[in-house]
């Protein structure tokens, strides 16, 4: 099974914390849709022997496109690829784009999963992040969407300056009140060259407090697990049967095509990524060129990626798989380096699987990088 990710590089406005590739100009929207369809056609042989199980529209803001435009892109996938009978087709959407009319139209389309970028239900947080929607729109959209979609995910951000632990708990409880089956939640991160980084440097916005972020992560973990959510990946919580199939395929090392400017692809042996420029992407695709750079992964690269993704998930890192895929030397190194984290109760081994403890989950990325082999 394989997945297709389609990057829609447009947004109404720039969120202060975002470093993803997008444009706030829609002048090239029609050209971009033609280019995305053409890239799907050009690359169809890469999945000649594979079935597509997931189609994911990310961005940017995919909900900035019309329902007709999204359906054109889905039709292009079906025209060029083998698609399973009931694929998971996800649309990332912002609350301000989801009127009842649009929600109904999407519910009648092949889209069967919505990922809604709420981030916070507090007006002050949304203004600090420069989100395009307000708290009322977020609540109204969730109320409507829950009537027409059975599979909804909400994005929430923790560690926002001046968001107290009590307010963070209210955010979580508000999300739960709409009966959603999946929550993706991320720590507010200060990325270089973003507006947020500039405002913090100038003292306009308070800096992110890592200790506070970790405390709010554990509030999230405790609250959602008490409500029957499974913490199946560092940033993702789902009810049984509602894990994101698209995202799970990334963490389990399954192949995927990334379509569109800045999109990444993986085939098990190579990674590739498209140019981060709408104009260059459109021009190259029009000339029948793939505007991408490839990286052939070494055995050590594959080992490091398996450690990074495995420790983030409930599936953990199989010591047997490490030995089978990479050799005894890799397993021996991993077990030796993991001992100090096991002693600190940040990692544990159960039935030959290395996993992060509750205490170690928030730190899993840093721990994983310390278990890498560098050569």
Section 313-321 average pLDDT:
97
Do 41 and 117 lie in one domain? The reply is yes
**Final residue of a domain: which of 234, 251, 268?**
251
| 286 within domain boundaries | no
Section 66-79 average pLDDT:
98
Do 336 and 224 lie in one domain? The reply is no
How far are the Cα atoms of 137, 176, 313, 373 from residue 143, in angstroms, in the given order? 10, 12, 30, 48
pLDDT band at 1 (very low <50, low <70, confident <90, very high): confident
Q: Which tens digit of pLDDT belongs to each residue from 215-226?
A: 999 999 999 999
Residue 374's pLDDT is what? Answer: 86
Residue 138's pLDDT is what? Answer: 97
pLDDT at 121 over 80: yes
Based on the structure, what is the number of domains in the chain? Answer: 2
Domain that holds residue 309: 299-370
Do 177 and 235 lie in one domain? The reply is yes
Instruction: Compute the 3-state secondary structure of the chain and give helix, strand, coil in percent, each to the nearest 5.
Output: 45, 25, 35
Average pLDDT, the chain: 96
Q: Which tens digit of pLDDT belongs to each residue from 169-183?
A: 999 999 999 999 999
Residue 133's pLDDT is what? Answer: 95
Please state, for a pLDDT cut of 90, what percent of the chain lies above it.
94
Section 317-344 average pLDDT:
97
Section 91-99 average pLDDT:
97
Q: Between helices 100-107 and 67-80, what is the axis angle to 10°?
A: 20
| 152 within domain boundaries | yes
| 264 within domain boundaries | no
Do 333 and 205 lie in one domain? The reply is no
Question: 262-267, long-range: CB within 8 Å, 24+ apart, which pairs?
Answer: 262/7, 262/9, 262/20, 262/21, 263/5, 263/6, 263/7, 264/5, 265/292, 267/46
| 215 within domain boundaries | yes
| 75 within domain boundaries | yes
Residue 22's pLDDT is what? Answer: 87
pLDDT at 19 over 90: no
Residue 370's pLDDT is what? Answer: 97
Q: Which tens digit of pLDDT belongs to each residue from 334-344?
A: 999 999 999 99
Do 104 and 185 lie in one domain? The reply is yes
> d(Cα 360, Cα 223) in Å, to the nearest integer?
18
**Final residue of a domain: which of 251, 266, 287?**
251
| 179 within domain boundaries | yes
| 256 within domain boundaries | no
Do 237 and 322 lie in one domain? The reply is no
User: Measured over all CA atoms, what is the biggest interatomic distance in the chain, rounded to whole angstroms?
Assistant: 59
Do 169 and 24 lie in one domain? The reply is yes
> d(Cα 29, Cα 133) in Å, to the nearest integer?
22
Do 40 and 153 lie in one domain? The reply is yes
Question: Residues 206, 58, 100, 154: is their CA dihedral positive or negative?
Answer: negative
Which CATH number characterizes residue 140's domain?
3.80.30.20
Q: Token pair of 149, please? A: 């979609």
Which CATH number characterizes residue 356's domain?
1.10.10.920
Q: Which tens digit of pLDDT belongs to each residue from 134-175?
A: 999 999 999 999 999 999 999 999 999 999 999 999 999 999
Residue 147's pLDDT is what? Answer: 97
Helix (H, G, I), strand (E, B) or coil at 81: coil
């Amino acid at each position: 099974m394989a997945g297709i990710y389609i990057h829609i590089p447009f947004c109404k406005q720039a969120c202060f914390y975002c470093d993803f590739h997008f444009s706030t100009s829609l002048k090239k929207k029609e050209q971009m849709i033609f280019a995305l369809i053409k890239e799907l056609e050009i690359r169809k042989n890469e999945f000649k022997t594979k079935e597509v199980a997931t189609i994911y529209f990310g961005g940017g803001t995919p909900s900035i496109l019309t329902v007709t435009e999204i359906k054109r892109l889905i039709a292009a996938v079906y025209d060029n690829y083998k698609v399973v009978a009931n694929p998971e087709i996800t649309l990332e959407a912002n609350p301000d784009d989801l009127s009842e009319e649009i929600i109904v139209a999407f519910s009648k389309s092949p889209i069967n999963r919505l990922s809604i970028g709420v981030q916070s239900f507090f007006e002050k947080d949304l203004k600090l992040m420069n989100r395009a929607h307000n708290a009322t729109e977020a609540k109204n959209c969730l109320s409507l969407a829950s009537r027409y979609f059975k599979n909804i995910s909400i994005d929430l951000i923790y560690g926002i300056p001046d968001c107290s632990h009590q307010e963070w708990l209210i955010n979580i409880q508000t999300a739960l009140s709409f009966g959603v089956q999946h929550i993706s939640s991320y720590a507010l991160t200060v990325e270089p060259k973003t507006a947020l980084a500039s405002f913090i440097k100038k003292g306009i916005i308070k800096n992110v407090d890592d200790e506070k972020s970790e405390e709010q992560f554990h509030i999230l973990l405790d609250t959602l697990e008490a409500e029957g959510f499974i913490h199946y990946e560092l940033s993702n919580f789902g009810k049984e049967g509602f894990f994101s199939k698209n995202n799970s395929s990334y963490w389990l090392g399954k192949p995927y095509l990334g379509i569109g400017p800045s999109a990444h692809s993986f085939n098990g042996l190579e990674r590739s990524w498209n140019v981060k420029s709408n104009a260059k992407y459109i021009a190259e695709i029009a000339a029948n060129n793939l505007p991408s750079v490839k990286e052939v992964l070494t055995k050590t690269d594959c080992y490091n990626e398996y450690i990074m993704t495995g420790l983030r998930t409930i599936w953990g890192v199989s010591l047997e798989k490490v030995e089978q895929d990479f050799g005894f030397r890799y397993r021996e190194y991993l077990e030796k380096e993991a001992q100090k984290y096991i002693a600190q109760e940040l990692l544990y081994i159960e039935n030959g699987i290395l996993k992060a403890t509750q205490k170690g989950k928030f730190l899993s990325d840093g721990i994983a990088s310390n278990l890498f082999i560098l050569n």
